[in-house]
Amino acid sequence: MEKKRIYLSSPTMHGKEQEFVKEAFDTNWVAPLGPNVDALEKEMEAFTGAGHAAALSAGTAAIHLALRLLGVKEGDVVFVSSLTFCATCNPIVYEKAAPVFIDSERDTWNMCPRALERAYEKYPHPKAVILVHLYGTPARLDEIMNICREHGTPLIEDAAESLGSTYRGRHTGTFGSFGIYSFNGNKIITTSGGGMLVSPEEEQIRRARFLATQARDPARHYQHSQIGFNYRMSNVTAGIGRGQLMFLEEHKRLKKEIYRTYSEAFEEIPEITMNPLNPEGDANCWLSCMTLEEGCRVTPDRIMDALEKENAESRPIWKPLHLQPVFAECDFVTAEGGPESVSEDIFRRGLCLPSDIKNTEEDMELIIGTVKSLFE
């Protein structure tokens, strides 16, 4: 018999979602606007404490609009975390601006404040900084924000993976000029696809909604004085989001439990270190990850192969963007200025473990047993 598939992070639906979707159908609000869209924005504002929110078609669209609203244009420099998914950076290139990649630090795996300071020595006037809270772990926001403030650079927080994570009691995504969340299928809650742009400034979110609906001027006829986008979330999709948001805290609790189970199980194997959690924050533990000691005979590839044999899904750590062929021409800044990079080291020695909240105790035992057996 085929072994059951154990997922990295798949959608977990509860039934509430369908009620909101049904309501959208029953009232024929099957459109890129409607009561679910408005309600999801309000509910996200209430949940995260963000001032204002705009529901969009994707997290990537939210990053793109944030850059537009900050006036990023051709030739501008934007500082961005290197250790992340390409979607963090691609919108910089949509605007023909120049990404400058910033290395990670070991304590959170996120943007290194020292490397960020060094980047300013070379590029004193970046148009924006995009900071990622990778795998749900909050970055060193105090230090990063101080540096940004000192230089007068607006901060965009890519909180696509960290919805529900807090730093000093406040939600990630609500510290910068803009924050973005993703509701992609693998995220902690999902609408199948979708995203949210948040900002403390109402006017910016009003402009975001305008740009996201083809920049239509207020006139009876179709009039446009700017180029816009078709980036709005649909009312059906937003219904799924409203149902999911009711379970975000529960998803976070289960994700944290998965992380704790792995941490305790692997404590006895000195070659294994779990991904860091910021002690100043409360991470949503979206994905549980590990790194293996330098020179360890058990490599990430061996672990991923062994898990695949058990039909369990694991993944490499994001390959740093400064190592991607498509970004080969872009600059990369480390804390010490040397060629050794922390992000590359984490990528080479790390992997993401199955972190699906539907994993049973037996699934977890199978995963843990499989990993441990490689060290015998």
Nearer to ligand PLP, 236 or 272 (CB): 236
Minimum distance of ligand PLP from residue 375's CB (angstroms):
30
Binding piece for ligand PLP, criterion CB under 6 A, among 9-17, 138-146, 158-166, 343-351:
158-166
83-102 residues in contact with ligand PLP (CB under 6 A) are 84-85, 87-88
The reply on whether position 196 binds ligand PLP by CB under 6 A is: no
Binding mask 211-250 for ligand PLP (x = CB under 6 A): ----------------------------------------
The reply on whether position 167 binds ligand PLP by CB under 6 A is: no
The reply on whether position 184 binds ligand PLP by CB under 6 A is: yes
Binding piece for ligand PLP, criterion CB under 6 A, among 35-43, 58-66, 140-148, 220-228:
58-66
The reply on whether position 54 binds ligand PLP by CB under 6 A is: no
Minimum distance of ligand PLP from residue 160's CB (angstroms):
4
Binding piece for ligand PLP, criterion CB under 6 A, among 39-47, 91-99, 155-163, 366-374:
155-163
The single-letter code of the amino acid at 244 is: Q
Minimum distance of ligand PLP from residue 353's CB (angstroms):
16
At 281 the three-state DSSP class reads: strand
Using only the alpha carbons of the chain, give its radius of gyration: 21
The reply on whether position 158 binds ligand PLP by CB under 6 A is: yes
The reply on whether position 137 binds ligand PLP by CB under 6 A is: no
One-character DSSP codes across 184-207: -TTSSS--SS-EEEEES-HHHHHH
The reply on whether position 160 binds ligand PLP by CB under 6 A is: yes
Q: How many angstroms separate the CA atoms of 285 and 259, rounded?
A: 7
Q: How many angstroms separate the CA atoms of 291 and 317, rounded?
A: 9
Give the CA count within 13 Å in the CB-facing half-sphere of 161: 23
Q: How many angstroms separate the CA atoms of 374 and 290, rounded?
A: 15
Q: How many angstroms separate the CA atoms of 87 and 89, rounded?
A: 5
Binding piece for ligand PLP, criterion CB under 6 A, among 69-77, 103-111, 157-165, 321-329:
157-165
Judge whether 210 and 91 are in contact, CB under 8 Å. Answer: no
Minimum distance of ligand PLP from residue 132's CB (angstroms):
5
Nearer to ligand PLP, 132 or 307 (CB): 132
Binding piece for ligand PLP, criterion CB under 6 A, among 5-13, 82-90, 169-177, 339-347:
82-90
Q: Please, what is the angle between helix 35-48 and helix 16-26, to 10°?
A: 150
Minimum distance of ligand PLP from residue 38's CB (angstroms):
20
Residue ranges in 300-355 assigned as alpha helix (H): 300-309, 342-349
Binding piece for ligand PLP, criterion CB under 6 A, among 2-10, 20-28, 81-89, 97-105:
81-89
The residues with which 80 forms a beta bridge, in sequence order, are 101, 130
The residues with which 166 forms a beta bridge, in sequence order, are 171, 282
The reply on whether position 161 binds ligand PLP by CB under 6 A is: yes
The reply on whether position 58 binds ligand PLP by CB under 6 A is: yes
The reply on whether position 163 binds ligand PLP by CB under 6 A is: no
Region label for 136, one of left (φ > 0), alpha (ψ between -120 and 50) or beta (otherwise):
left
With 0-12 / 13-18 / 19 or more C-beta atoms within 10 angstroms meaning exposed / middle / buried, residue 70 is buried
The reply on whether position 60 binds ligand PLP by CB under 6 A is: yes
For the record, the structure tokens of 199 come out as 């900002």
Judge whether 113 and 105 are in contact, CB under 8 Å. Answer: yes
Nearer to ligand PLP, 105 or 161 (CB): 161
Q: Tell me the CA distances in angstroms from 39 to 25, 31, 144, 238, 331, one per residue in order.
A: 16, 14, 33, 8, 42
Judge whether 288 and 275 are in contact, CB under 8 Å. Answer: yes
Nearer to ligand PLP, 90 or 299 (CB): 90
Q: Which residues in this chain contact ligand PLP in the complex, by CB under 6 A?
A: 58-60, 84-85, 87-88, 132, 158, 160-161, 182, 184, 195
